[in-house]
């Protein structure tokens, strides 16, 4: 499926959602309110402690916004398809994605694209832009380009995590509980991972590299004079697309092994 056809599917989904504007607006307002409350909790926490392991309110707001923004972008394409995949397989509805002259992966994602994440994107992007003007750093063209690339890579990495879990549906069928574990793990990167023990930092860096979504890009932007920050900052730009490609190959492997609802 090419980009033009994919965009056509997404446009149709957006038009169908806009038929119920009231429900869409209420849902968006609810999501924005929920995330605004999360920001408020972090802000109140920083009023008592000033900093968390040397990170100020504006720096943590940047860190948290980068996490939410990349998740919203990645999940727009992958959350609903991957969470629904187990039931789609059990009901036998997955067969229709294999009978079209299209890539089953992109066809499946396009068919279940979720425009509802626009609310996440709006609030996280607004706070991110605000925090950029508040953090104490010298913004250069290179850093701005790096930030854009970090957002792209982080979005790929967020999507990769969802696709990997969804791929397991081809083997275990019922995997929705794994999404709950994934989101619990993601709560750790709401704050700088430097506040955790060495073992957990290693897990979040090299085993389940969620820290590559926002922590390492942030420390690269805040202080690129440290060699370690530079190296891990560059790794963060590569690991997202690489992780998504590997998750795609895993998903396609499962799809190729699929033998129907009974198999």
Q: CA 62, CA 215: separation in Å to the nearest integer?
A: 10
SS (H, E, C) 10-66: HHHHHHHHHHHHHHHHHHHHHHHHHHHHHHHHHHHHHHHHCCECCECHHHHHHHHHH
Block residue for tokens 């869409």: 24
Contact between 123 and 28 under an 8 Å Cβ cutoff? The reply is no
The pLDDT, as a whole number, for residue 136 is 80
Kindly state the percentage of the chain with pLDDT values over 90. 59
Domain residue spans of the chain: 3-257
The tens digit of pLDDT for each residue in 20-61 reads 666 667 666 777 777 777 788 778 877 777 788 889 999 999
Residue in 147, 111, 98 with CA at minimum distance from that of residue 12: 111
Token couple for 21: 């504007």
Question: ∠ at Cα 150 (35, 71), nearest 5°?
Answer: 30
In whole numbers, what is the pLDDT of the chain averaged over residues? 88
The pLDDT, as a whole number, for residue 201 is 96
Question: ∠ at Cα 43 (54, 140), nearest 5°?
Answer: 60
Confidence of residue 216 (pLDDT cuts 50, 70, 90): very high
Q: CA 263, CA 259: separation in Å to the nearest integer?
A: 5
Confidence of residue 154 (pLDDT cuts 50, 70, 90): very high
Q: What is the mean pLDDT of residues 179-195?
A: 94
Contact between 68 and 124 under an 8 Å Cβ cutoff? The reply is yes
- Higher pLDDT residue, 29 or 155? 155
Confidence of residue 19 (pLDDT cuts 50, 70, 90): low
Helices then strands, each counted (H, E), the chain: 11, 0
- Higher pLDDT residue, 142 or 20? 142
């Amino acid at each position: 499926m090419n980009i033009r056809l994919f965009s056509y599917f997404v446009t149709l989904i957006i038009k169908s959602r806009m038929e119920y504007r009231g429900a869409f607006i209420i849902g968006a307002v609810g999501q924005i309110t929920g995330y605004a409350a999360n920001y408020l909790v972090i802000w109140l926490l920083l009023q008592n402690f000033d900093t968390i392991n040397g990170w100020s309110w504006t720096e943590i707001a940047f860190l948290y916004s980068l996490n939410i923004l990349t998740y919203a972008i990645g999940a727009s394409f992958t959350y609903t398809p991957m969470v629904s995949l187990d039931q789609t397989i059990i009901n036998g509805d997955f067969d229709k994605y294999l009978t079209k002259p299209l890539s089953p992966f992109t066809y499946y994602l396009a068919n279940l694209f979720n425009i509802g994440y626009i609310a996440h994107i709006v609030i996280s992007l607004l706070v991110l832009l605000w925090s950029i003007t508040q953090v104490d750093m010298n913004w250069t063209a290179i850093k701005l380009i790096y930030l854009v690339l970090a957002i792209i890579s982080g979005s790929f990495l967020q999507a990769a995590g969802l696709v990997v879990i969804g791929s397991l549906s081809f083997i275990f069928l019922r995997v929705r509980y794994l999404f709950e574990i994934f989101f619990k793990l993601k709560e750790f990167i709401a704050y700088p991972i430097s506040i955790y023990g060495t073992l957990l930092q290693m897990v979040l860096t090299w085993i389940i590299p969620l820290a590559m979504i926002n922590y390492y890009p942030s420390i690269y932007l805040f202080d690129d004079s440290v060699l370690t920050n530079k190296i891990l900052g560059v790794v963060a730009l590569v690991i997202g697309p690489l992780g998504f490609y590997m998750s795609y190959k895993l998903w396609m492997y499962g799809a190729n092994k699929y033998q129907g609802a009974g198999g």
